[in-house]
Amino acid sequence: MAYRNGQRLPLDDKAGSGPTLRLSVNPRARRLSVRIDARAGEAVVVAPTERGLAQAVAFARSKGVWIAERLAVRPQGRPLEPGQVISLRGHPVRLEATPGAGAARLVEDGAVIRSGGEGEAYARRIENLLKREARQTLVERTDFHLRTLGQKPVKVSIADTRSRWGSCSPHNRTIRYSWRVVMAPPPVIDYLAAHEVAHLVHADHSPAYWAVVERLIGDHRPWRKWLRDHGGALHAVGR
């Protein structure tokens, strides 16, 4: 069977159900590998070429028990509701309800978010506030890194993506971020902004690209690791 980059298929080819495998071709990969994408709830199979995907799929299926166990312990979603404690720029924030239908707002020096509404309406107001906070912070850090590199302004948009924290389109000078990164500590947020701005200089992930990121923020590895380790928990908030 011929496999292709980006294809999704069941881990158990006989049952045709259960965990999903996402196939990925990365020419820079030195070997076949399997990783868990907790955000998307699937395993990612990586091969250097499309021809190598068949062998990569067979390898992943031989690790079926391990993959299923890893996916089973990923963070479970929880709706945004009063009494919950979430993170904003790395600091705990308690959610509280107020009578009426007022918009969510930060109070008590940013330690509390209060909002009107009930159920889905309450959750929507909380999420809208987080999106506003994300836009403010990410636009600020994006502009800072643009100035450092002598780059012209870009259009920034905020979304709720499952597979990427951010994306950059150099040809039309747009950068798209996941609002959920605003729950991470400031150095992680800054790393993401630097990561996307650097793509205006180099569209790939070559050593020259990572040199630009390092010029902007220094050692980026701890913050990349933080997103790998904790990203699943951020994507579980409000699910």
Q: Per residue of the chain (239 residues), give pLDDT as tens.
A: 688 998 998 887 765 566 889 999 988 777 888 888 766 778 888 999 988 999 999 988 888 888 887 777 666 677 899 999 999 999 999 999 999 889 999 998 989 999 999 999 999 999 999 999 999 999 999 999 999 999 999 999 999 987 689 999 999 999 999 999 999 999 999 999 999 999 999 988 889 999 999 999 999 999 999 988 888 888 888 87
Q: Are residues 44 and 96 in the same domain?
A: no
Given the structure tokens 């993170």, which residue do they identify? Answer: 87
Residue 151 is classified by DSSP as P
Burial, 172: exposed, middle or buried (Cβ in 10 Å; 0-12, 13-18, 19+)? exposed
Q: Are residues 59 and 114 in the same domain?
A: no
pLDDT of residue 64: 85
Contact call for residues 36 and 22 (beta carbons, < 8 A): no
Which among 88, 135, 124 has a CA at the least distance from the CA of 109?
Answer: 88
pLDDT of residue 84: 92
Domain-embedded: residue 111: yes
Which among 69, 16, 38 has a CA at the least distance from the CA of 231?
Answer: 38
Six-digit token string for 190: 């800054």
Domain-embedded: residue 157: yes
Q: CA separation (Å) from 85 to 29, 74, 137, 177?
A: 39, 19, 21, 23
Number of domains in the chain: 2
Question: What is the rounded distance in angstroms from the CA atom of residue 158 to the CA atom of residue 177?
Answer: 5
pLDDT of residue 17: 60
Q: CA separation (Å) from 96 to 62, 77, 112, 234?
A: 47, 19, 7, 20
Q: Are residues 66 and 119 in the same domain?
A: no
Domain-embedded: residue 3: no
Q: Are residues 128 and 216 in the same domain?
A: yes
Q: Are residues 96 and 199 in the same domain?
A: yes
pLDDT of residue 107: 93
**pTM, entire model:** 0.74
* Residue 55 domain boundaries: 8-72
Domain-embedded: residue 80: no
What is the edge-to-edge ordering of all strands in the sheet holding 91-97? Answer: 85-88, 91-97, 112-115, 105-107
Q: CA separation (Å) from 135 to 12, 29, 81, 179?
A: 41, 34, 22, 7
Other CB atoms within a 10 A radius of the CB of residue 195 amount to 25
